[in-house]
Structures are given as C-alpha cells and as structure tokens.
Amino acid sequence: MARNAGPAGACTQRRASSTTGVRRAAALLAVLAMAALGAIGLAVPAQADAGGEHYTIGTDTTYAPFEFNDGTELHGIDIDLLEAIAKNQHFTITWKQLGFDAAVQALQADQVDAVMAGMTITDERKQTFDFSDGYFTGGIQFGVLDGSDIASLDDLRGQTVAVKTGTQGQTYAESLQAQYDLTVTPYSDTTDMVDAVKAGQAVAYAEDYPVVAYGITKGSGFRLIGEPALGGDYGFAVNKGQNPELIEKFDAGLAALKADGTYDAIVAKYVGTSAAGASGAQTPPLGHGETFTVGTDTTYAPFEFNDGTTLKGIDIDLLEAIAKNQNFHVTWKQLGFDAAVQALQANQVDGVMAGMSITPERQQTFDFSNGYFTGGIQFGVLDGSDFQTLDDLTGQTVAVKTGTQGQEYAESLREQYDLKVTPYSDTTDMVDAVKAGQAVAYAEDYPVLAYGITQGSGFRLIGKPALGSDYGFAVNKGQNPELIEMFDAGLKNLKADGTYDAIIATYVGAQDDDAAAPTATAKPSLLEMLDQYSPALLRGLWLTFLATVISLAASFVLGIVFGFGRLARFAPARWVSTAYVYIFRGTPILIQAFFVFFAVPQLLPGVKFNPFVAGAITLALNSGAYMTEIIRGGILAVDPGQTEASRSLGLGHRKTMQKVVLPQAFRIMIPSFVNQSIITLKDTSLLSTIGLAELTFASRQIIASTYQSAQILTIVAVMYFVVITLLTVLADRMEKRFTS
C-alpha cells in the first residue's frame, strides 16, 4: 500500500536492515540521514496519488506489536491501522522508521508530517502536538506460562502473582488482591519478576501488556490473561496547528474502521483481543437537586484522604464542585477502592470517584465520564534545591526506576536537556540517590510524588506530568447516564471558569505554575516512626532471627558431615566435601540465592520453594561451607599428641574423637562459630532480593511508602546492632562457661 515516493533511496524505508532495533543507533543514523538531506536541499516530496494527498509518517524501529520488521516488511498495529485508515480516507503514506525519539524530533523539524509510534497522549505533548482520538489504550495485563492452566483472572484466585516494585503493575495487582485473594510478591526488576513465574514462585506477573506481547513474539513462553488495565491512550500526532485535515481524516477513518470491524481485526491480529479507548463528546445537561451516593477510596492522597476531621482531596472537591455546578448532591461513602467498585456493581452506590483509571476492562462493566485528571510522570527535586523548571535540569543527572515509564520519560528528554539518566532498581534507591546528591531529580508517577510530599518527603515537583493515564468517574454500564452527562458538563464548566485548576492547584500545585508545591506536613520524628512501624520491623526481625537460627542449625550439621568428610580416609568423601566447600565459598551468596530460588525450580520441575525456605536453604548451604572449614580446622588444631595418647591407651578412633579430640576442638571453634553466626545473621539481609520479608526487606518496604530513609535506616541499623551485640555477649558467656 505505502509506496516509496521519495527519490532519495537513502532515506526510504521498508528496508530489512533495522530489525535488530538498536534504538539509539537507529536514531543516530536517522538524524545523520536527515542532516544529509537538509544539506543537499532535498525534502521528501508529498507527491499526490491520483486519489489524494501523500504523507510521510515517522515511526519507531522496533516496538512490537506496534511496529517491527519481520525481516522483510514493516508490520504492526500502528502500520496496519494507519495503512487501513489511509485506504479508507484516500490518502497515501510513506513510512520512515526512525526510532521513537528521532521520529518525534523529525516531526518537530517538519521532516515528517506525522508520527504513528505507540505514542501516549499526554498533556505535555499536547502543548507541542495535535493528537487524533486515542486509537489504542495501553495498560497492564498478566502474563502466565503458556503451558499453565490459567485462563482468566478468576483462575488466579488464591495464587501468588509477581510484580515489579513501584510500578503500575503492582498498583493493578494490589487493586485485585482482595477480590481474587492474591498474594502479591514484589520484585525489584523485570528479570526477577519473570524468572519468579518461570520458577513457579508465582503463577503470573503484571506488566505493560504490549511489553508482554513483545516478549511472547520473542518466544518468552508466556500467555496473556485478563484485559489491559490502567492504560494510557495512544494517539496519532501532527505538529500543533499543522495538517489538521490529517487528524480529521485519521479520526474519521478510525471511526469507520471501528464500525466495519477492520479495527478489531487489526488489533486482534497482534494482541489477540480487541482493545480500544476513545473519548466521547460533551453535552451539557442540568440536574434537579437529586442526591447521589458515591463511593471512594479511604486514603489515596491527593485524591481522597482524611485530614483527621474531614474528607478532602481532588476527587472530593471536584465532584462537590461539579454537583454544585450541575445542581445535584453527593453523599460520600469512603469504602476503600475495591469495596467501592464492588459496591457500585452491587448498586449500593450510584457512582465511584476514586482516582480510577479508565481502562477497556473497566469499560466493559462501567460507563466512565471524560477523564478529569491525567496521572503521569513528573520530576521530583529536593525542596531546598534551586531547580524550578526542566530547563534547570540541563546537563544534570536524574534518577529513574529501571523499566518504568519514568525511565522512558527521562530518556525521551535526554537529548533535549542533555540529561544523564541513572537507572535504579527500586524507588527507595532512586529517591535516596537524589537525597544523597547522586542525582538532582527523579522521575515518578506524580500522584505518588505528591503523596510523598504530603508525607514530608522534602521534595518538590518540577515540570509537568507526562505519559499519563486518565482518571474517570464511573457508573454501572447503562445506568445513571444522566449522572455521567452532568459530570462531563460540570467538568467542562469548572475547567472554563478556573475552578478545576484551583482545585488541582490546592493539592498538587498549579498545572501551569512550576513553582507551586503541594503542602508538606512536618517530618515525623524518630519516635513517631518507631511507634508506627515497629510492629512491621519486629515482624521482619523475627523472620531474620528465624532464618538465622534454622540455617545455622542446618549449617552446623552440614559442617560436621563435610568437615569429617574433608578429613576422611575414604578419598571420594574428601573429594565431595572439598567440592562442596569450594563451590559455596567460591560463589557470591546472592547468586546462590538466585540459583536456589529461580534456577532450581527450572532445572528440577516440581521442586519449588517459597522465599523463606529458599533463603534458609541458601544460608545453610553457604554457612555450611564455612562451618565445614571451621570444624576441619578445629579438629586439625588439636595437638596430635592427644590422639596418640588416647590411641596408645587402646581407645578406638571413634572414642578418641568423642572423648578427647572433639571436646578440645569445639573449644577452639567457638569464636569462629560466633563469628560465622553473626555473618549469617547479616547475610539474611541479602535475601530480601528474593522476597524474604526479613528486617531489611521490611525496612525497604516502609521507606518506599514513607520516604523516611534516614530514620528507618537508623532504626534498622540499631536493631541489627542490638541483636548482634546481645548474641555476642551471650556467646562470650557461653565460651567462658565451656572453657572454665
């Protein structure tokens, strides 16, 4: 369908060369090619076909299933969809597969007429570009092993799902936790999360579903279940004010394709199910003073929260203002998010207003208002810093969380602002990096940032939210349509008269004023933190203690078995024991833990451990290697004259060991045992990486939600110190008793 209209073969696409999709290299090539074009004065001409206009469209190199090369041809939802729209609307297109960043820049430089590249419609981008209606809603979905029996969300009931800490995937999984009785296990990165499912530690993982789909095309061995959730709309973009007719054609073509089923066919071809999100038009009706009951969340600052006496927040103030504007009344029911959604389905409330993202899955059950708030990514900087705008970040380092939209966003700004983007594996590290001055800002979902600020995180937001998804007001499908109409009309009015901006500004700072900040409460004191979080920390400490004691006991047995093995006359016993010691002393304990947790279940199907068991096994095996050497060394350290004296009396080998050598060896070993016990106790902290919820894990979870890393780390360090010191004193006492 699309033909190469340009005479300059160097820049025409539909080549098979960039299948590897090294995005950065491709972008560089594209920029060079464009520079060359510009220098010799060649523009790609918009040559009209007999039937209509011709457009050049920039797209990404490889972003399956939206655009990718199968070796010979460009494929994907974006490609097929736009080509179908072009056919429907009688225009022709030439693709330029530039890479995402380069395509966007090429658009700004008028090198292409439009961009079709899985581009999320965000408020920030809307300042530079005009977008079509959303043609696809991205979002989170669960991936399960292809060979598993799990076919729907219902099949996940009572199971464990893996998520990436701090992502929308986690948010989504946790929103389903109560409904499906899920155990949600957070991992710090994608690899661990995926491996957890492969190893049978979890049955599914939550991830941006295009990413899962991409993985599946790469033979990941997974399968998608459920429907995408928490999605942002993808749009077709032109430069602001330019080519408005192209947007019109796109929207008209999209509508036609949706009507005749072509759209569903294209999407189904790539992701198997139809997924679409489009926003409707507004019509302004009026209420008659009726009262509606609306369910909301308990605490989801800044959308809804109690300040001790009254319910506040963006959702609350906004719906109250809309009710006033449209002449109806609202009775709030603060139920918690899941309960509110269930109450709506049970008709116990008329609507839900709870920071609820508009997703295709939810759209099957609920009717949504227009989006009233777009979540998204923003930068947080230290409150005391001089940074006011994105421009101030020029040349600076920003911290991001690996694999998140925050990273995507920061990298999209990298060239423009000459940023150094440093990825961290979790929120805590990322935030701490800024506190420690390793970076000047971090990119994060801005409601989360705002929440942190209200918690006294000491940060400030700069820039504007990007890559966001829309929040909507929900009613049951087909019920209360007048409520949705009133909401949309009221929202429009509030936006027009400035009330909307005022409400938003109250909670997250004015959208157009970089300097405004959410109100920060005072930092909680160490004692308050201790009071609030000591139960969670003590639970962690208990697990630390339990893991230490169990693994030390086991490692002692291993040490005896292999320690004697190393001294045995029987050579194979020596070989096996020596190999054991060398293997477990010669590899890092973290690798051992990953091996036990992730690799063993793959190597030995049917064998799988929960994090505690895997952790205890790892520690026992690791510590056992050192115990072996301690026991061997202790036995060898006993004067051989002792053995000779005992043997010369006629006592056998066994009795000599029991009565003469071991009692003395044991005394020699005590200090080493104490030392190894302390090391093992401290090593438990490494097992937080496989999800063992010991003290370090507990502290990191708390830091992730409170941002009070200095306080929590102090408390945790003191807890470790006290426990270890107590154990040392106890061991000293024991040693004195034994040797006296």
Please report, as ranges, the residues that interact with other proteins according to CB under 8 A. 639, 641-642, 644-652, 655, 659-660, 663-664, 667
CB of 662 to other proteins, least distance (A): 10
- Three-state SS at 127: coil
Question: CB-wise, 318 or 661, nearer to other proteins?
Answer: 661
CB of 553 to other proteins, least distance (A): 25
Q: Strand pairing of 204-208 and 377-382?
A: unpaired
Instruction: Provide the H-helix boundaries in 372-404.
Output: none
Question: CB-wise, 437 or 663, nearer to other proteins?
Answer: 663
Question: CB-wise, 241 or 650, nearer to other proteins?
Answer: 650
Question: CB-wise, 479 or 664, nearer to other proteins?
Answer: 664
Tokens of 639: 């004067």
CB of 612 to other proteins, least distance (A): 39
CB of 649 to other proteins, least distance (A): 4
Q: What is the DSSP string of 14-70?
A: --STTTT--HHHHHHHHHHHHHHHHHTT-----PPPSSS-EEEEEE-S-BTTTBEE-
Question: CB-wise, 288 or 737, nearer to other proteins?
Answer: 737
Cα→Cα distances 518→124, 317, 399, Å: 20, 15, 21
Within 8 A by CB and 6+ apart from 627, the residues are 555, 556, 558, 559, 560, 563, 673, 676
Cα→Cα distances 584→330, 561, 626, 633, Å: 64, 15, 8, 17
Residue 262, amino acid: T
Tokens of 709: 């890393």
CB of 641 to other proteins, least distance (A): 4
Question: CB-wise, 645 or 726, nearer to other proteins?
Answer: 645
Residue 502, amino acid: A
Burial class (CB in 10 A: 0-12, 13-18, 19+), 152: exposed
Compute the distance between CA of residue 96 and CA of residue 55 in angstroms, rounded to an integer: 11
**Contact yes or no for 246/212 (Cβ under 8 A):** no
Tokens of 129: 């570009």
Compute the distance between CA of residue 719 and CA of residue 429 in angstroms, rounded to an integer: 21
Compute the distance between CA of residue 217 and CA of residue 195 in angstroms, rounded to an integer: 18
* Helix, strand, coil % over all residues of the chain, rounded to 5: 50, 15, 30
N-terminal to C-terminal alpha carbon distance within the chain: 93
**Contact yes or no for 531/712 (Cβ under 8 A):** no
**Contact yes or no for 121/131 (Cβ under 8 A):** yes
Question: CB-wise, 395 or 671, nearer to other proteins?
Answer: 671
CB of 667 to other proteins, least distance (A): 7
Tokens of 165: 């800490």
Compute the distance between CA of residue 536 and CA of residue 403 in angstroms, rounded to an integer: 28
CB of 677 to other proteins, least distance (A): 23
Cα→Cα distances 66→21, 118, 588, Å: 13, 6, 41
CB of 656 to other proteins, least distance (A): 10
Question: CB-wise, 272 or 652, nearer to other proteins?
Answer: 652
CB of 643 to other proteins, least distance (A): 9
Question: CB-wise, 335 or 657, nearer to other proteins?
Answer: 657
Tokens of 353: 């207003």
Question: CB-wise, 383 or 644, nearer to other proteins?
Answer: 644
CB of 659 to other proteins, least distance (A): 6
Question: CB-wise, 420 or 653, nearer to other proteins?
Answer: 653
Instruction: Provide the H-helix boundaries in 684-708.
Output: 695-706
Strands (E), 219-287: 222-229, 233-239
CB of 556 to other proteins, least distance (A): 21
Instruction: Provide the H-helix boundaries in 327-421.
Output: 337-345, 360-363, 405-412, 414-417
Question: CB-wise, 87 or 647, nearer to other proteins?
Answer: 647
Residue 116, amino acid: M
CB of 664 to other proteins, least distance (A): 6
Question: CB-wise, 151 or 734, nearer to other proteins?
Answer: 734
Instruction: Provide the H-helix boundaries in 313-445.
Output: 314-326, 337-345, 360-363, 405-412, 414-417, 427-435
CB of 665 to other proteins, least distance (A): 10
CB of 557 to other proteins, least distance (A): 24
C-alpha dihedral sign at 163, 168, 171, 176: negative
Main-chain phi, psi angles of 144, to 5 degrees:
-125, 160
**Contact yes or no for 306/336 (Cβ under 8 A):** no
CB of 671 to other proteins, least distance (A): 17
Question: CB-wise, 49 or 639, nearer to other proteins?
Answer: 639
Compute the distance between CA of residue 142 and CA of residue 738 in angstroms, rounded to an integer: 58
Question: CB-wise, 306 or 658, nearer to other proteins?
Answer: 658
Angle, helix 314-326 to helix 481-497, in steps of 10 degrees: 100
Question: CB-wise, 307 or 639, nearer to other proteins?
Answer: 639
CB of 584 to other proteins, least distance (A): 32
CB of 740 to other proteins, least distance (A): 10
Nearest to 371 by CA among 358, 362, 361, 359: 358
Within 8 A by CB and 6+ apart from 24, the residues are 99
Question: CB-wise, 364 or 739, nearer to other proteins?
Answer: 739
